[in-house]
Structure 1
Amino acid sequence: MQHGKYRFIVGFLAAPLALYAVFVIWPFVQSIYYSFTDWTGLSPDFSMVGFDNYARLLDDDVFWKSLQHSLLFALVLPVVTIGLALFFAFMINVGGRHRKGAAISGVRGSSFYKIAYFFPQVLSIAIVALLFQFAYNPESGAINSALKAVGLGDVQPLWLGDPDLALWCVMAVLVWSTVGFFVVLFSAGMASIPKDFYEAALLDGASRVTTFFRITLPLLWDTIQSGWVYMGILALGAESFAVVQIMTTGPGGPDYSTTVMVLYVYQSAFRDGAAAYATTIGVALLVVTLAFAAVVMKLGRRERLEY
């Protein structure tokens, strides 16, 4: 009987695992292999060069800038995005005033706010980047026009043209475009928490802040941890690439002030014709991503709470 069960499990998992190995694991193995070659990406001919690409990586100032920016994305974006999402979700679900017949409720208009926060998720990240590129235009953009309208005509930053501001402008776009997803995610988690917990805490004199840190946060911790890892991967991967590629000059400028690792991979492969070096940067990006996920899972580990 046991033999038949294990045979069924192996037969059921064989096809998915084979597809995963072919389309996920094998490309990683190929990338690591090509990082030890001089492949240009345009010719089938290449030769092994050992650790030359990795030695070049250590002396590449642009790589170190891109690594710094990617790490900043991975550290700042999850903190801001998840912090805002938790606040909005808490207010939507349990942050309202006491009402007749409902001790615990969200703020008025909470259904509308859910739709409004989630709306950016409906838009393609490319469309979002283009919209904000127009908004950041220093001459005719909506932001500087609004500053003029309120009497701040002397305050006209270059936004994406300023090396000190460009990276933060890109981060703001990513926060705006992703916070709605986590609001809905955390709202679903908060809706599953029994209202009795909140009502008992309020009867005991607990404030809204206390209920958030003593009830909501502990019971949502697994969801928050997963969201943190997911947001970090987004910040290190395709989302940051799309926004930087579309919005910034260069792209990645001015003066490499917005270059991130995934963009540098693309530029090395398709602009510079150095596919082997691009895979080397990709291997470094893989290490950074795995390290980030491992650190978050390790620091966020705690005893599971059930209710």
Structure 2
Amino acid sequence: MKTMTMKTKRTFFILVCLLPGLLLFSLFKVYPTFQIFQKSLYLWTGLSDEPKYIGFKNFADMLHDETFLLSMRNTGFLMLVVPIVTIMIALVNASILTQSKLKERGFYRTVFFFPSILSFVVIAILWSFIYHPTMGFVNTGLEMVGLEEWAKPWLGDQRTVLWALAITLIWQAAGYYMVMYMAGIDSISPELYEAADLDGATRIQQFFRITIPMLWEIIRVTIIFSINGVLSISFIIVSIMTGGGPDRHSEVVMTYLYAQAFTNSNFGYAMAIGVVVFMISMLLALVSNKLTERGSY
């Protein structure tokens, strides 16, 4: 009986300690999320006290909204290209820096990781100058090597703007994931690589048969991080670098959501877009988690 009383007191103490955090989480996370789902069913300017209930009309309007569909396509492109390329570059760099025994390993780790600690605003401004059509490093470099015909307004061309934004996002994130992979590789037993060397395995074979399998759980997590990161970071990058141009060809779903809410005062429609983004994010997280299970590898 005394043991049960002690367990009860311990449970009560834990609940009391957790209660403030749970209340704050419910107040600032759960309740606003519920409100978004609720307000997405209304025609609301964000200023009126009495929004008009319209059911699922906001969601139906998305199917005929060409700008929304274009922003979804652009976002899908970035969510496909950026995570794949970022993770590949991070894995290769991490493998080289951990296994090549470079004396400058610490220096390269710092250099590659540096973009990850910069403000997204700084990154957007920096790459806007790099892509500048007359003074930018890209076009100037092409002219210096005699490839003037390749020079173009990278952020002003519908065919290149998304690729230019993708490169910016990859440059920002690759170093962050590289450090995560380096920590994972350092935890792999050196005996595995020594045994592989004795068996005559090349560095490439060791990379695919030892490094990647041993890092697979970390890779699974970084895939989800990278996909969701594109949604949040692309809003800042696109807003500063292109503003959605040219002709909406760099518009992403988060910039369109912001424009609907704070430019067009169509908060109900913006919240409906937010609900769709939330559902897609959850779906992608579940799908990527399922596809990358150990049994699928």
Which string of whole-angstrom CA distances, capped at 9 and with x for unpartnered residues, describes residues 119-164 of structure 1? 1122111111101111111122111011111111222111011011
Question: Is contact 2:238–2:251 with CA below 8 Å preserved after alignment?
Answer: yes
Equivalent-residue separation in structure 2 for 1:216 and 1:6 (angstroms): 43
Q: Identify which range, 39-48 or 190-199, moves more after superposition.
A: 39-48
Q: Tell me, what secondary structure is at the counterpart of 1:79?
A: helix
1:91-110 equivalences in 2 (<5 Å): 91-94=96-99, 96=100, 106-110=101-105
Equivalent-residue separation in structure 2 for 1:51 and 1:183 (angstroms): 43
Which string of whole-angstrom CA distances, capped at 9 and with x for unpartnered residues, describes residues 66-124 of structure 1? 11111122111110001100000000001x2xxxxxxxxx3342111101101112211
Cα RMSD after superposing both structures? 1.5
Q: Does 1:88 align with 2:93?
A: yes
Aligned partner letter, 1:40? T
Partner residue in 1 for 2:234? 240
How far 1:284 sits from its partner (Å)?
0.7
1:1-307 equivalences in 2 (<5 Å): 1=4, 2-94=7-99, 96=100, 106-237=101-232, 239-248=233-242, 251-302=243-294
Aligned partner letter, 1:272? N
Which string of whole-angstrom CA distances, capped at 9 and with x for unpartnered residues, describes residues 227-276 of structure 1? 11001001122x0000000000xx11111111111111100001111111
Equivalent-residue separation in structure 2 for 1:38 and 1:241 (angstroms): 25
Matched positions, count: 291
Aligned partner letter, 2:163? W
Unaligned runs of 5+ in 2: none
TM-score by length of 1: 0.91
Aligned partner letter, 1:278? A
Q: Tell me, what secondary structure is at the counterpart of 1:159?
A: coil
Equivalent-residue separation in structure 2 for 1:209 and 1:192 (angstroms): 19
Equivalent-residue separation in structure 2 for 1:188 and 1:118 (angstroms): 13
Equivalent-residue separation in structure 2 for 1:145 and 1:126 (angstroms): 24
How far 1:20 sits from its partner (Å)?
1.6
Q: Identify which range, 115-124 or 239-248, moves more after superposition.
A: 115-124
Q: Identify which range, 10-19 or 262-271, moves more after superposition.
A: 10-19
How far 1:46 sits from its partner (Å)?
1.5
How far 1:216 sits from its partner (Å)?
1.1
Unaligned runs of 5+ in 1: 97-105
Percent of aligned pairs with the same amino acid: 37
Q: Which runs of 4+ in 1 moved over 4 A?
A: none
TM-score by length of 2: 0.94
Equivalent-residue separation in structure 2 for 1:93 and 1:113 (angstroms): 11
